[in-house]
Amino acid sequence: MKYVILIQSNERSLAVWETMTDQQRMDLGRGHMELNEEMQKAGVHVSSEGLADPSLAKYVSVRDGKTITSDGPYAEAKEHLAGFYLIDCETQDEAIAWAAKVPDAANTEVEVRPVLDMSGWDI
C-alpha cells in the first residue's frame, strides 16, 4: 500500500518557524534527512521531495490547444504544499507511525493520504 505524507506551509507553521533559533532550523532540516535515510533502510521509501517557494510556481492551462502560463492568480494563497514523502508499507497504522516522525508534525501537523492504485478484485 502506498501512502503520501503531505507537509503544508501555512500561517501557523510560518509563525512557528519565526520563533525558531538557527540551531532549531538546522535540526529540522537534518531531521528530514535522517528520516529519509531511515525510510530507505526500512525498505519503505519510494520518493520524497521538498518544494521550492510558491513564488517560483507557474500556472499552466490549455485553451483551444494553446498552452498559457501565468504566475498566479493564486500567489497570495495562505497555504501551500511544502513537501511530501511517498512510502510503501503494509498498513495505515505503519504510515501514521512514519508520519509521526516527520519533524513538522511536532510543530503543526502532517497529512497521511492513501494512494489510489490500479488493483481490482473480482466483482
- Cβ at position 48, least distance to other proteins in Å: 11
Q: Decide: is 33 part of the binding site for other proteins (CB under 8 A).
A: no
CA–CA separation, 58 vs 1, rounded Å?
Answer: 32
Q: Decide: is 49 part of the binding site for other proteins (CB under 8 A).
A: no
Of the candidates 5, 7, 35, 44, which one interacts with other proteins according to CB under 8 A?
44
Residues 6 or more apart in contact with residue 35 via CB below 8 angstroms: 85, 98, 101, 102, 103
Of the candidates 8, 17, 90, 103, which one interacts with other proteins according to CB under 8 A?
90
- Cβ at position 74, least distance to other proteins in Å: 26
Q: How many CA atoms lie within 13 A of 70 on its CB side?
A: 7
| Range 57-61, long-range pairs (CB < 8 A, 24+ positions) | none
Q: Which stretch binds other proteins (CB under 8 A): 20-28, 74-82, 98-106, 110-118?
A: 110-118
CA–CA separation, 18 vs 10, rounded Å?
Answer: 12
Which of 18, 122 has the CB closer to other proteins?
122
Which of 44, 110 has the CB closer to other proteins?
44
CA–CA separation, 34 vs 50, rounded Å?
Answer: 14
- Cβ at position 45, least distance to other proteins in Å: 6
